[in-house]
Chains A and B, each alone.
Chain A
Amino acid sequence: MSEARMDTLPPEENRRRLEALARIWDNAPGWRGQLTAVNHGTVGLRFIATGFAFLLAGGALSMFIRLQLAWPGNQVLDPERYAQFVTLHGTTMMFLFAVPIMEGFAMYLLPKMLGARDLPFPRLGAFGYWCYLFGGLFLYSGLLFGEAPDGGWFMYVPLTDATYSPGRGVDFWLIGVTFAEIAAVTAAVELIVMILLCRAPGMDIRRMPLFAWAMLVTAFMIAFGFPPLILGSILLEIQRAFGFVFFDVARGGDPLLWQHLFWLFGHPEVYIIFLPAAGVVSMVVATFARRPIVGYLWIVLALVTTGFLSFGLWVHHMFAVGIPLLALAFFSAASMAVAIPTGIQVFAWLATLWAGRPWLRVPMLYLVGFFITFVGGGLTGVMVALVPFDWQVHDTHFVVAHLHYVLIGGLMFPMFAGLYYWLPLASGRMPSESLSRTAFWMVFTGFHLTFLPMHLTGLLGMTRRAYSYPEQLGVHWLNLLSTAAGFVLAAGTIAILVDAALCFRHGRPGRRNPWRAGTLEWALSHPVPAYNFASLPVVADRYPLWRDRGLAARTMEADGLLGDPSSGRRESLGTSILGGVPEQVIRLSGSSWQPLLCALTIAVLLACFIAGFYLGSALMLVVLLGQFCTWAWTTGDRHAPATVQAGPRLELPVQYACRNAPGWWALVVSLLIDGSLFASLVFAYFYLWLGTDAWPPAPMHAGAGAGAWAALALLGVCWIASATSARLMRRGGGRALALPLGVAALAGAGFLWMQWRAVASGTGAPGEHAYASVVWTLAGFHAVHVAVAMVVGLFVAARGQRGYVGVERPLEQRIAAALWAYVAAQGVMAWGVIHLFPEWA
């Protein structure tokens, strides 16, 4: 593609444009600006800083754990406190550090790396951040009330049900973690749409940086992997709060259902953490080997196949629960299969180093640490994938050693490599060479001396999670060594963070692109402007800066793509999914209070819920609904022109008229996530059915009576009415939307009424039996969807009246109709499971 540029721009006009861009994109000044900021750079750095703060908190807890285990019979913590610290350590590291930090890296880097101005949904990203922060604080606030969770980070039932954990600790865990997970889900939506639609012109799928490929696969894994955990948490919470039953054997439940739902998330989670780190490795290796990555295609293959195979591993956490051998063997086979793509990646990185001229600077040093550590963890992983060996070491410190080798080796070392690699970009300064090298050796030796002995203590029979061990086991010297080395590791980690923090103030000013890297983020000037590129770059290579020496300078001249800020709005470019051909100009929202206010409302809602003040929660729900409607109302622009001059000789439509609009793809991804949640619930239904003799137990029977059929017919009306909305709109404009979407809403209300009656008469109270609980939950889950579709439909109809939606701007109508279609399809499935299946079973 030829680059469209004007001949030359007079210097004063260029300066004027740069000032205008800065004015449009900068955060507001002062505290208000900090609270309302939505820019990806600001939000991404916040994710990273908060993630490190939680790393320190989780690390401090682990130091107490190590002190307690330093010697048999120690009394540093009592057993109860020990259980709380173990739980909070695991939970913090998994949910509040590992996943958010990688989201932070992705949010900060991807727009810069892909040549865009911002993420496609800046306010959604900011909202995710506040949810993450408040969710984390919510979890830790349990400590203030003396109610910290103590059921382990996996929260196994029945230990965590209301009988054995009557306090509020488990509720703090379930609610806090789910709250924080909102960030993971919103990030998945945002990152998928970003990577698919917002790359620089010319950056087709062969030229995407491997970090973007890794994040694309990771985001899809989050979309499919997190819903089972979210569902499990919801089920356990409504069992605890409202007396439903899912996991209680006496009333038809099954505790193993929790383990399935948890590990359906839990194993992919390991790769959700590892794949972004692998993406970082692919970026750093190429730069420090000073050559393009070897086997780009093979690495893409490895990323995609790992994304799939990692879902086939979940039961390998449950080898010891008494599942039939053949089922175990399926998961054992998948666990070994996943080593193939991982091995392919490792060999590609080694080949790159082999073929290049490696340059051993600090980021590369951390990669060496990564190779050594991660390969060790991977090997023990294949060992525990073998069922008989797993039975031997199950629940011993061998597994603790393995998982820390994988997680610290696979996440922390690459992440520190990434931190040192991109620090000059974020700070404009170079980190201290001596401090960073010293810190590396502390972390590296500290880590191995802490966790290598644990393989041995585990094989000798030291169980995990127990707060002490008998002296006769003969492992006390090994434990003392682990504890001492653990403190070296902690000191090294703190040194790294201090080094990074000092760098922003006192680092040696660096020049642009100090590592001589080839990818787009290094084209940016210092300090990085909030708008990233003055004119968006056009890419013709995997390493554009290596190929095109003048590119960096050109992106600072406001004479190219979107260089003219005369619209006064935040704009970025949308390109086609495969080819990176410019398709649309995306108008983005600016600073806003909405994300913070919505997250605060959710925090109050959940606080009311945990306090048992359900009326307060219901009230906050109404407030929240109002806030979301206000937020949604401020999107879109009824005065937006149909097309915009994106650059010299390039006129593009604005996103509201474009088929590939980001909003459309956000809907598609959201529905994927929702579909996964629904599938998990249906799985729970059939799992409970399989474990129970009588289904439904007499006298319950939600069969397919006349009322149920009427409900189904009304659902059909919803779908037909919403499906005709496009045709009516084409004839009568936005105002014509009121009729079909109003009919759909009315039919939806009728459906809710008929369905409620059919379920209530057939099933009775939900707490009687697992059957009744799961039917009510399924019906309730779908009812929420119908209600949401009704609200969205009426909202779009109102927008049609005010001129936001119409023939020129059909996006919102498409979204409302597609949502109704999805809700109807989901309803048919839920209806079949609830009303038809008992007839057959």
Chain B
Amino acid sequence: MAGFARPSTLVGIAAPMAVWALHFVVLYSLQGLTCGEGWNPRSSFWAMVALTIPALAVIAWLGLRALRTARAAASGEPAARRARFAAQATGLCAVLAAVAVLFTVVPVLLLPVCS
């Protein structure tokens, strides 16, 4: 995964939010399947909580990596300044993506899976 979505590319900037989107879709689908197919709501609840941990971890990793890139690229070269800009954007997106994931998971903790 070394070259995956480097923080200095356009795909890299979008990567943290893509993780949010994936997490959102998986949780929503899991909820639908649980209620539609009569799966065990309790296991489903724990699965949703468990899935949130890797989602947040990946976002944190993307954000921290972006932070490192931004620090390393502080020199005056145009390419370095460009990389720094993209890395800063990635870092900020990671913060907002983490907030959005937490927003998604709060209702899981408060509401029954099917009602």
* Chain A contact residues, CB within 8 Å of chain B: 204-206, 297-298, 300-301, 304-305, 307-309, 311-312, 324-327, 329-330, 332-334, 336-337, 340-341, 577-579, 690-691
Contact = CB atoms under 8 A, between A and B. Distances in A.
Interface of B: 8-10, 13-14, 17-18, 20-21, 24, 27-28, 31-33, 35-37, 78-79, 81-82, 85-86, 88-89, 92-93, 96-97, 99-100, 103-104, 106-108, 110-115
Contact of B21 (A311, A325, A690): A311
A325 B100 contact: no
B107 A690 contact: no
Contact of A204 (B78, B103, B113): B78
B14 A304 contact: yes
Contacts of A690: 32-33, 36-37
Given A206-B85, A305-B17, A579-B78, 15 more contacts: A206-B82, A307-B17, A308-B14, A308-B18, A329-B110, A330-B31, A333-B104, A336-B103, A337-B103, A340-B96, A340-B99, A579-B79, A579-B82, A690-B37, A691-B36
A340 B9 CA distance: 24
B27 to A, nearest CB: 7
Contacts of A332: 107
A691 B33 CA distance: 10
B8 to A, nearest CB: 8
B28 A578 contact: no
Contacts of B27: 330
Contact of B28 (A304, A330, A336, A340): A330
Contacts of B93: 301, 304-305
A178 to B, nearest CB: 26
Given A204-B78, A325-B112, A326-B113, A297 B92 contact: yes
Contact of A337 (B85, B100, B113): B100
A334 B20 CA distance: 10
A326 B97 contact: no
> Most B CB atoms within 10 A — which of A298, A307, A308?
A308
A577 B11 CA distance: 12
Nearest to A312: B24
Given A308-B20, A326-B114, A326-B115, A297 B96 contact: no
Contacts of A298: 92
A337 B89 contact: no
Main secondary structure of the interface of A (DSSP, over half): helix
Given A312-B21, A578-B10, A690-B33, A297 B111 contact: no
Given A308-B14, A324-B31, A578 B82 contact: yes
A333 B106 contact: yes
Given A206-B82, A304-B14, A311-B21, A330 B104 contact: yes
A269 to B, nearest CB: 18
Contact of A206 (B28, B81, B111): B81
Contacts of B35: 324
A341 B92 CA distance: 11
A332 B103 CA distance: 9
Contact of A333 (B18, B81, B82, B103): B103
Given A334-B104, A337-B100, A301 B9 contact: no
A579 B33 CA distance: 45
Nearest to A338: B100
> Most B CB atoms within 10 A — which of A205, A298, A311, A326?
A326
14 contacts: A301-B96, A304-B89, A305-B93, A305-B96, A308-B18, A324-B35, A326-B112, A330-B107, A334-B103, A334-B104, A336-B103, A340-B99, A578-B9, A690-B33
B105 to A, nearest CB: 9
A325 B113 CA distance: 8
Contacts of B24: 312, 330, 334
A205 B96 contact: no
A205 B81 CA distance: 10
A308 to B, nearest CB: 4
A205 B85 CA distance: 8
Given A206-B82, A311-B21, A326 B107 contact: yes
A659 to B, nearest CB: 16
A419 B27 CA distance: 43
Contacts of B103: 333-334, 336-337
Contact of B115 (A325, A336, A691): A325
Contacts of A327: 28, 31-32
A656 B108 CA distance: 53
B96 A204 contact: no
A745 B12 CA distance: 37
B26 to A, nearest CB: 11
Nearest to B13: A304
B11 to A, nearest CB: 10
> Closest 7 A-B residue pairs measured CB to CB?
A329-B107, A308-B17, A333-B103, A690-B36, A301-B92, A206-B85, A337-B100
A816 B80 CA distance: 37
> Most B CB atoms within 10 A — which of A305, A311, A332, A691?
A305
A384 B2 CA distance: 43
> Most A CB atoms within 10 A — which of B18, B31, B82, B100?
B100
Contacts of A304: 13-14, 17, 89, 93
Nearest to A690: B36
A336 B104 CA distance: 10
A320 to B, nearest CB: 16
Contacts of B85: 205-206, 297
A308 B59 CA distance: 15
A326 B111 contact: yes
Nearest to B48: A326
Contact of B114 (A206, A312, A324): A324
Contacts of A311: 21
Nearest to A578: B82
A523 B23 CA distance: 46
Contacts of B36: 690-691
B89 A297 contact: yes
A391 to B, nearest CB: 15
A335 to B, nearest CB: 10
A301 B16 CA distance: 11
B5 to A, nearest CB: 13
B10 A305 contact: no
Nearest to A341: B96
Contacts of B115: 324-326
A336 B78 CA distance: 38
Nearest to A336: B103
Nearest to A329: B107
Nearest to B103: A333
Contacts of A340: 96, 99
Contacts of A297: 85, 88-89, 92
Contacts of A579: 78-79, 82
A311 B111 CA distance: 23
Nearest to B19: A308
Contacts of A301: 89, 92-93, 96
Given A325-B111, A326-B115, A204 B97 contact: no
A324 B108 CA distance: 12
A329 B111 contact: yes
Nearest to A335: B103
Contacts of B79: 579
A308 B31 contact: no
